[in-house]
Amino acid sequence: MQITAKMVSELRERTGAGMMDCKKALVQAEGDMEKAIEILREKGLAAAAKKAGRVAAEGVVETYITEDGKVGAVVEVNCETDFVGKNEDFVNLAKNLAKQAALSSAKTVEEILEEKYIADENMTVREAITSLIAKLGENMTFRRFERFNVENGVIMDYIHGGGRIAVMVQVEGANNEVAKEVAKELALQIAAANPLYLVKEEVPQDVIEKEKEIYRQQALNEGKPEKVVEKMVEGRLQKYFKEVCLLEQLWIRDQDKTIRKFVEEKSKEANAELVVKKFVRFEKGEGIEKKEENFAEEVMKQAKA
């Protein structure tokens, strides 16, 4: 298979490895991007990709929390261009869908699409989206949502980059100013550090095994003797947990303290055991490959039409 400059550039963008190393890895992997990433990681030339897939689709991520603070939702709504992504009607649609997702009991996007639209009872959510597609002339999708419910606790949201990243976090045990402060700090941490799991016990066994195999290969490639390889693998695995698990991460405001330690200290201040129950971080378009159009060709198509 021919390895193109674009493929090399994409691999470099995703791994941070050098151009020549990227090209060699792609040749060895016969053009398979994921396999090439593994090869680079085994050679110690690339860090673990937290989220594979380029962030390319346009649109917005939006949040909604009820006035009593007990229910919340995060949604992602996509469109084709940044121009429509900033359109007032499109932004209002996303805000309404966030509210709809929070107040609904639906478990899937498909179920919400068949509900009466919260902003106009005369149409379904699907019809509301179809109507806006017709008006703005661009395809749109209600891609995903996550709902939060809390009794004795706090739900906090944070939106970064004008709708590029949305975070929602749930802290239980108290509903006071200290609990709110903790939830706010955690939302900022999640936006910045992008944890994939809450605790290391949540990391799937197949993910752990794959990481261990990569670290084992790294150690062998470094010429380490077999008897020390396993110790190195275990050490690197613990480092991986500190990168991808929220409670194991170092707090961005104080690198001498883990998030777990921060929450424990704040629990004493709150006179209650604060427990981080759940979080979600949506990044607009993550994992979606956007179709690349040749602009000159597009203009010619429009002209002919």
One pLDDT digit (tens) per residue for the chain, 305 residues? 789 988 998 888 777 777 888 899 999 999 999 899 888 888 777 655 443 333 337 999 999 999 999 999 999 999 988 899 999 999 999 999 999 999 999 999 999 999 999 999 999 999 999 889 888 888 889 999 999 999 999 999 999 988 899 999 999 999 999 999 999 999 999 999 999 999 999 999 999 999 998 888 888 888 888 888 888 888 999 999 999 999 999 999 999 999 999 999 999 999 999 999 999 999 998 877 655 444 455 555 555 54
Tell me the CATH class for 1-47: mainly alpha
pTM recorded for the entire structure: 0.74
The answer to whether 77 and 60 are in contact (CB under 8 A) is yes
Angstrom distance (rounded) from CA 118 to CA 73: 14
Q: Please enumerate in sequence order all residues whose Cβ is within 8 A of that of 248, keeping only pairs 6 or more positions apart, or say none.
A: 199, 200, 241, 242, 258, 259, 260
Angstrom distance (rounded) from CA 72 to CA 54: 28
DSSP calls for 266-291? HHHHHTS--EEEEEEEEETTTTPPPP
For residue 229, what is the enclosing H or E element?
helix 226-244
Enumerate the CATH 3.30.479.20 domain ranges in the chain, comma separated: 58-197+278-283
Q: How many helices (H) and strands (E) does the chain have?
A: 12, 10
Angstrom distance (rounded) from CA 56 to CA 33: 17
Query: Residue 152, exposed/middle/buried by CB under 10 A (0-12, 13-18, 19+)?
Result: exposed
**Residue whose C-alpha is closest to residue 169's, from 103, 247, 108:** 247
The answer to whether 164 and 81 are in contact (CB under 8 A) is no
Enumerate the CATH 1.10.8.10 domain ranges in the chain, comma separated: 1-47
Is the CATH number of domain 58-197+278-283 3.30.479.20? yes
